[in-house]
Amino acid sequence: MSTSTAPSTGIRAARPVWLISVLAGLAAAIATELYGLAARAAGVPMAAGNVGASVPGPITIGMFAMGTATAVFWGTILAVLLARYARRPARAYRWTTVALTAVSMAGPCLAGATATATKLMLALAHIIAAAIVIPVVSRRLGHAPHPVRAVPGR
């Protein structure tokens, strides 16, 4: 008599990928906004310019959360597509999002008319958001059911 065990399904595996991503994004948006408020209270200049700008624009309250929400929106679409079509969605998501986080560092680094402390603070905000979202969504994608592919002739 043999016994077989069904794969374990935790809370993460029972929830849709998009929901896990949105919830992780909400946590990241709150964390980055609180980080931005702490940096403001610590006296970090809250003004940054676009690439090549000669005059900085203000970094207002809510911009950290909004920037995080925008990135998570696109990351959620990526996660859902990878869950559906990738052979190893967690690995693909992790590598892609880490690479995109690295690319996102160009914004703060190349910001014109921006204090060095502000550039460092903005770059760290990107890392904080990524450190919250990427592991959570990757773990969920590791539990994603693999799509069933039809085999011709069967």
Tell me what percent of the residues of the chain surpass a pLDDT of 70: 84
Summary mean pLDDT of the chain: 90
With 90 as the cut, is the pLDDT of residue 9 above it? no
- The neighbour count for residue 60, using CB atoms within 10 Å, is 10
End-to-end CA distance of the chain: 30
Burial of 1 by CB count in 10 Å (0-12 exposed, 13-18 middle, 19+ buried)?
exposed
pLDDT on residue 144: 60
* pLDDT tens sequence across 38-62: 999 999 999 999 998 999 999 999 9
* Neighbouring-strand partners of residue 51: 111
> Is the pLDDT at 3 greater than 60, yes or no?
no
Of 62, 154, 51, 58, nearest in space to 105 by CA: 51
Identify which of 101, 93, 38 has the alpha carbon closest to the alpha carbon of residue 67.
101
- Please state the length of the chain: 154
Tens of pLDDT, residue by residue over 102-145, are 999 999 999 999 999 999 999 999 999 999 999 999 999 998 66
* CB < 8 Å & 24+ apart, contacts of 142-150: 142/89, 142/90, 143/9, 143/10, 143/12, 143/13, 144/13, 144/17, 144/83, 144/89, 144/90, 146/87, 147/84, 147/85
In Å, how far are 71, 82, 146, 147 from 129, measured between CA atoms? 9, 20, 28, 29
Question: For the chain, what percent of residues have pLDDT higher than 90?
Answer: 82
